[in-house]
Amino acid sequence: MKARRPAEGRDERWARVIVESVLSVPVKRFDYGTAPRQVDALVLYPDRVAALEVVTDPDQPFNRQQDALHRNKTIDIPGLRKSWIVLLSDQAKINNVKRALPALLLDWQDNPRPKRPTWDVKSSELVRLGIKPSELERLGIKPSELDLLGITSAEPIDDGTESGRVWLLPEHRRGWAGDELTVGEWVTRILVGKARDVPEKLAAHRDVAERHAFIWAIPSSDMGVQIQLEPGDDHPFPVTAPTLPAGVTHVWVAGHWRKGVLAWFPGRGWWRTPLSWSSEGPAT
């Protein structure tokens, strides 16, 4: 009986599709789990072969939360007269939120809390930094129920057509657009730090002319990187080359929620590929 081949991951599959779309050459899956430390795919140029290894920014707590959100995008609470949108920080634990929300929202719909002034420091931000509620109270800051759950906002949908449906969504991250150094420095940090096995796997694959690292940025990644992935002239474009470890010759950067795809090739530098990416797939 043949060994069952492991399924290809979503990020690996879409990375292959993106590279194939941009380069107009076949990109074939290579890692079928038949040997340890295989690269994910091979780029089949007419005159040469390149190795491709895919990595997602390894923010493990965020990735675990995203997996949980994929399984729990909505919850239904009998008695709610409207639909609600609940935005979650990356510190929120989905199971804790699901247990606490029914009582909280049923109370809130009849006894709405006053909105905090926009200039007020959010205790949720302090909780996110690891400051304990008891320490906040000594400072005269009392975290709300939502702050302690990692909920950044909870609002009813006035024009919603469903009652009792609650949508759990990650909060929109904020940050600055970075500068021409941002993307190159981020790539270097990823490849020499949290994902240093990527260059090691690429270097170990013999008889290839190029070794490509494809990095997925996620919503908790450096906001400057995410912003620069978006096509447009209203923010800096990366200029500085990444300092690549041995084993990596080419770099691709794409984002789960961002439309553009950037690439760095030797002799060409950073360039914006002619591809628009979305959750439905790439389109040139």
Q: What residues pair up with 52 in beta bridges, in sequence order?
A: 41, 212
169: in domain: no
Instruction: Please work out, in degrees rounded to the nearest 5, the angle formed at the alpha carbon of residue 232 by the alpha carbons of 243 and 249.
Output: 20
pTM of full prediction above 0.75? no
User: CA torsion angle for 195, 196, 198, 201 (degrees, to 10)?
Assistant: -150
φ, ψ of residue 204 in degrees (nearest 5): -75, -15
Q: 268 and 194 share a domain?
A: yes
Q: Which domain holds residue 103?
A: 78-163
Q: What residues pair up with 154 in beta bridges, in sequence order?
A: 86
Q: 179 and 43 share a domain?
A: yes
In total, how many domains does the chain have? 2
42: in domain: yes
Q: 109 and 206 share a domain?
A: no
At which residue do the structure tokens 């021409």 appear?
180
pLDDT tens for the chain, 284 residues: list them: 445 567 898 899 999 999 999 999 999 999 988 888 899 999 999 999 999 999 988 665 666 666 666 677 788 899 999 899 888 877 778 888 889 999 999 998 888 776 655 444 455 555 555 556 566 666 666 667 777 787 878 888 877 667 888 888 776 655 677 788 899 999 999 999 889 999 999 999 999 999 999 999 987 788 888 888 888 766 778 889 999 999 999 999 998 877 789 999 999 999 999 876 655 555 54
For 247-277, give one letter per residue: b (16+ CB within 10 A) or e: bbbbbbbbbbbbbbbbbbeeeeebebbebeb
Q: 268 and 215 share a domain?
A: yes
64: in domain: no
